[in-house]
Structure 1
Amino acid sequence: MEQPPLPRPSSGADRRRARDLGIVIGSADTGPLNAITDVPGVRVGHSTVRREPDVHSGVTAVVPHPVGPRTPRPAGVFTGNGYGKLIGTTQLAELGTLETPVLLTSTLSAFRVADALVGWMLQRPGCEEVLSLNPVVGECNDGLLSDIRARPVREEHVRAALDTASGGPVAEGCVGAGTGTVALGFKAGIGTASRVPDLAGRRFTAGVLVQANFGGTLRILGRTLTPASFGADGPAPASVAGSCMIVVATDAPLDARQLTRVARRAVFALARTGASYSHGSGDYAIAFGTASASGAPVADADLGPLFEAVLDGVEEAVLNSLLAATTTTGFGGRTAPALPVDLLLENLAAPPHHPSVTTG
């Protein structure tokens, strides 16, 4: 699909999503909201914990309905680089089922969040006799901008995110688990997108949500944008370390093995954005299905458009996380600048630079 002309740069006073700026990734249709909540039965909730200037953190809940130990969802997980604390991953991988919402938070708060999730689940209808439960909690390190050792995310924040989770538009950028995260040298956070691929004549929805917090050099539409591309408004000196948590939901009738294949593509997609996949990066994806068990399964040979949809969706969700975020100064006076929209559009509109090649 040919990239449409990009609009003239704006004043940069407002933060807009990629498609609002004319940046279109892939050719598949999006869902009506271009969000993970386009998948029927999926809700998202955030609880933001901010105490200026030292705390910029929170928790984000992705809640499929129904989900529980009596109504598990088929699921798969893929680890691109395992420098992280994805609680609940071994049982999820072993059984191929998800029995709680997926929560995202700050590294040192992950364990409190898992405990709070267990308490919330045990009070759900149908869980009165439950004696075993596998909470799934992912994390990114927001210690650049937040006092991570304070472990500010507590039970009341977890319950607020779960209890207020809803369908509809999803808040992005500096919210929930993305309040203190940084990616590719710029302030990032939560981002989401969706696609509606055609699988052998049947249309399904795939939605993604990312908690972006990884190193590398920004790449958009195949073009690498170096720090020099942004001049004085360029990225902060960025660590090569970092992480990204990705959640994929789909109403396509897939089993756990197929969902694991989907999760792999979600992590692969980070390379399109310029991710460095460094030693200290925890890059994970969880993919779950919402279809009823009675649905006719999708054949492996027909999964190609879904894989492409997830690749495109993750790429766009990361970009949305950057575009929605705002410049943040946090713990220790450290600042993560927002991605400058005006300069971004100028760089994308300029002819690509091709270094000359000489032969001996």
Structure 2
Amino acid sequence: MNRYDRQERVKVIGKLGQQNISNATVLIAGVGALGSYTASQLVRAGVHHLILVDPDVVSTTNLQRQALFTEADVANGQFKVEAAKQHLLAIDHTVTIDIYPEPLSGEHLSNLDFDLVLDCLDNFRTRDLLNKAALNNRFDFIFASCAGTFGSVMAVSPNQHACLNCLYPNLEALKQTDCDLIGVNTALIPIISGLQVSLALHYFVDRSSVNFNQLVTIDNWQLTQQSFKVTKNTNCPVCQHHDWSLDADDTTDQLTTLCGTQTYSVQMSNTPTLNQLANWLNDRKLANRQFKSFTTFNWQDYTVSLFKNGKLLLYGVPTLDEAQPIYASLKQALASTINQEAI
């Protein structure tokens, strides 16, 4: 039986369009509210290769709006990308799913092979990185955002059409207010995700007819929808230049909050290698999990991930003030380890 029979019967898709969908590789940036819905819909629609990038673990507060996850995922302390992969493979075991339980970086956007990026992020700092990477590497992405009862969707092809900074000329100011959260209505998420996936499927079936100059907004409380024409700004300080730095803001040794989470990030200036870290953890009988590019372990009853590039993530601490001394103690302990190795 043809799994995609009902979709192939849609005149604008057909068998050829379905084949294009199945051949696509999609990078989903952020596997939270939008990303979890979007990933599920893409797998059900027939996309056979997903790349999931998200640094966070599943928490109880996610369950209100992040459809793929369960209380068991919370209890197991799983990374969102790990839990998502398990649930998506239960929908279709033939799908290829690559997971990166780490913050989206210029390296992902420059070195991974994909046909389209879906922006399911929750902050404009990383969106700025995505926008510049799309300009630098000449790929398209689909922007989507949700806040309160209001959501927005737009297909972005920034080299030829409006870039994200054309849409939001105050992008720098938005980056500074990323964590001024106002919450989100549960029912808004699948509406905006559905529009984002609709654009993605349209893109794979017939990119030439996608409207890259249209922003669609929805208020799901008032049940209103509007469309706006967005054109390329000839004076845009971002897309009218040809040197787009993909370097993240310098937060070396400065603990910062990942927006909307109890996760804290820091770029450490001096860290052990992953092999040194593994030996140090094993000597102290501290539980740990080894991955290709990072190690996850427990410190003072909290989960920590340390990446080979020196990035550290601290999970589950209620406030930044409480996270600071925990990080300070870990930093001191790791420094002593490095000093011992050097002797």
**TM-score computed with the length of structure 1 as normaliser:** 0.25
**TM-score computed with the length of structure 2 as normaliser:** 0.25
Larger radius of gyration: 2
Q: Which has the higher helix share?
A: 2
Q: Which has the higher strand share?
A: 1
